[in-house]
Amino acid sequence: MIRVSERRITSFRNKIYNWYLVNGRIFPWRTSDADTYRLIVTEILLQRTRAANVAAFYDDFFSHYPDWYSLTNADSEGLESFLRPLGIWRRRTATLVNLANAIMEMDGRVPHDRVEIEKLPGVGQYVANAIQLLAAGTPAPLLDAGMARVLERYFGPRTLADIRYDKYLQDLAWRVVSCDKAIEVNWGILDLSAVLCKNREPLCSQCPLKKGCNYYQGNVSERLV
DNA sequence: ATCCTGGTAC
DNA sequence: GTACCTGGAT
């Protein structure tokens, strides 16, 4: 397993944070007035889905389905047709209704305990981390494919195929975001992954992290050979 | 470790 | 037609 020094983590985090302050994307769910309901539902809408597509959809969705109760009462076909433009609409409909039922059975309160949160239907490691970060305000990584790509390019590749079980990547992500600007650092990494550190044709020349980046340095040396 | 699920960008 | 997008369930 690759060892990463604390100095390198701090340098990476600071560059991400400074880049985010200027270049961070604006999304409706990043405003502070979003309640826990919107926060959790938004994370489910974002699964395997581009953020820009969810943004175009956001206001309309929450005006039709403003709270957990409205989802438990929702007409299933109506909800499905509503979610169809986003993709994965059958699965997402079932997940939202099951989750709403589970939370309404708990008097509409989302559990406080991390283990209990992850037992909720449709809530896995990623959404549980999002709740911990955005609802509870405790640092946790939004470690999706995008963050994994940024971390791996900068620090070095993981060994396991599945992000969620790769200890190196998990440890790295937790170390990077464990600071008093955890939300901004998380969003900064996700934004960088979508805007510059794209899967295909990354825009390394514009990247504030290229100086310390394994991927960029590797490409530079290849060109020189 | 593998399956599922669908719109979108390329 | 392929790979990707703020993964969860088994």
**Chain B positions with any atom < 7 A from a protein CB:** 1-2, 4-10
Protein residue with the closest CA to the C1' atom of nucleotide C7: A47
pLDDT (tens digit per residue) in A41-57: 999 999 999 999 999 88
The pLDDT assigned to A32 comes to 74
pLDDT (tens digit per residue) in A169-198: 999 999 999 999 999 999 999 999 999 999
Give the nucleotide at minimum CA-to-C1' distance from A85: B7
The pLDDT assigned to A3 comes to 86
Residue ranges of domains in chain A, CATH in brackets: 6-26+140-219 (1.10.1670.10), 28-134 (1.10.340.30)
CA distance A167 to A158: 8
Q: Beta carbon of A57 within 7 Å of strand B? A: no
The pLDDT assigned to A2 comes to 79
**Which of the residues in chain A have pLDDT under 50?**
224-225
CA distance A170 to A31: 27
